[in-house]
Chain A
């Protein structure tokens, strides 16, 4: 399964070339001029689990893609004068799809779909840190693909909920069964949803917000 095919919907529609973008935000409604506070939520899970579908279902803009290059460790190559050509063979590129929801005239929420594999986790420093929280997407037919992601979030102490995308040919398990299979404490919300349904995706985000509110109201013992 190709990375682009499964994870990256055609971002900007292909019409907006470099430097040739008309003003006003490119596509979709422009942000309110009074928009002042941006928040982000990470949507994490393995390839093909429905991250971009979820983002696209609730976003007010077509999902966009931002890329980042990963450069290999610290520069030990000062022999060449310390100047390194970008995108040399020591870099690789990872794409993240994202969407946007204007919550009110000053508050805007961004949703970032992040591949769950370990080699993409370097992206998370800029994403999970400082995010409101995370939605971990799971496919019940390959639950084990999400174990590492859960582990990682737990170790970071990040707030997350788990949402199982209801693929048509997949069995549906009650949330309690999923919670037990995922070895999650009872406090972590687990729910079934349909990534293609705007209302269903909205309910997932609402579940995360409610969970965050309970965490804020009763902070866990330090």
Chain B
């Protein structure tokens, strides 16, 4: 077993280089030429990956992402969406059709409204829609601005969490 050195060297500069390498590899399409760790780009499907690979084919391409986000890289400054921000649709019921026309919603917007009849985290929405998190955040922001959803931001726990909250977590876990 290798011992961890008491003061291992921080890898600040190395990380930038690694990112560059990863970017180069990603830009070459399949990651050809990248000989380090696997690049987090799409990799060729293997047998056991088939469900995932099939789904990947349905994922929207960059053009679609550009259209639905209007080229925005993230939500407006005043909305800070966390991975676990809970999103709930404001009850629109039959008004869905009018709302879609009035606000110029994309099908992705209405999919979020459908998914959020019960609270759902932004991360889950991103997963179900198979959209990058930042693109999902833009869509949620649109709906928030249109008054079609409300959000519950997560508890920011800072460095020292509230003991009562932790006790609640503990009790919940003990019931699992």
Measuring CB to CB, which residues of chain A are less than 8 angstroms from any residue of chain B? 1-5, 8, 10-14, 16-26, 30-33, 35-40, 47, 58, 64-72, 83-96, 98, 100-104, 107-110, 112, 115, 117-122, 126-127, 130-133, 140, 143-144, 147-148, 150-151, 155, 157, 159, 173, 177, 180-183, 198, 202, 205-206, 209-210, 212-213, 215-217, 219
A66/B169 in contact, CB under 8 A: no
- On chain A, the residues within 8 Å of B90 by CB distance are none
B15 in the interface (beta carbon within 8 A): yes
10 contacting pairs across A/B (C-beta < 8 A) = A12-B128, A14-B55, A39-B154, A40-B154, A65-B127, A91-B23, A98-B83, A119-B19, A130-B82, A157-B159
B49/A10 in contact, CB under 8 A: yes
Closest A residue, CB atoms, query B164? A216
* List of 7 A-B pairs having minimum Cβ-Cβ separation, nearest first: A103-B172, A89-B27, A14-B51, A64-B127, A87-B62, A38-B84, A92-B26
- On chain B, the residues within 8 Å of A209 by CB distance are 166, 169-170, 173
Also in contact, A216 and B163, with CB within 8 A (given A10-B49, A93-B26, A126-B83)? yes
Main secondary structure of the interface of A (DSSP, over half): mixed
A69/B127 in contact, CB under 8 A: no
Q: Which of A18, A47, A157 contacts B129 (CB 8 A)?
A: A18
Interface size bucket, B side? Answer: 35 or more
Q: How far is the CA of A24 from the CA of B46 in the complex (A)?
A: 31
B65/A14 in contact, CB under 8 A: no
- On chain B, the residues within 8 Å of A143 by CB distance are 1-2, 4
Q: How far is the CA of A6 from the CA of B43 in the complex (A)?
A: 12
Chain B min CB distance to A143 (Å): 6
Q: Which of A92, A147, A198 contacts B40 (CB 8 A)?
A: A92
Q: How far is the CA of A187 from the CA of B15 in the complex (A)?
A: 30
A2/B123 in contact, CB under 8 A: no
Q: How far is the CA of A51 from the CA of B121 in the complex (A)?
A: 20
B124/A26 in contact, CB under 8 A: yes
A94/B40 in contact, CB under 8 A: yes
B98 in the interface (beta carbon within 8 A): no
Q: How far is the CA of A128 from the CA of B114 in the complex (A)?
A: 30
Chain B min CB distance to A9 (Å): 8
A120/B84 in contact, CB under 8 A: no
Also in contact, A132 and B157, with CB within 8 A (given A95-B40, A104-B168)? yes
Closest A residue, CB atoms, query B72? A86
A148/B51 in contact, CB under 8 A: no
Q: Which of B122-170 contact A (CB under 8 A)?
A: 123-124, 126-135, 152, 154-157, 159-163, 165-170
Q: Which of A107, A183, A215 contacts B168 (CB 8 A)?
A: A107
B26/A91 in contact, CB under 8 A: yes
B41 in the interface (beta carbon within 8 A): yes
Also in contact, A66 and B133, with CB within 8 A (given A21-B115, A72-B23, A89-B23)? yes
Q: How far is the CA of A31 from the CA of B131 in the complex (A)?
A: 21
Q: Which of A30, A86, A103, A147 contacts B73 (CB 8 A)?
A: A86
Also in contact, A23 and B172, with CB within 8 A (given A16-B128, A68-B134, A85-B66)? no
A5/B46 in contact, CB under 8 A: yes
Chain A min CB distance to B8 (Å): 5
A64/B128 in contact, CB under 8 A: yes
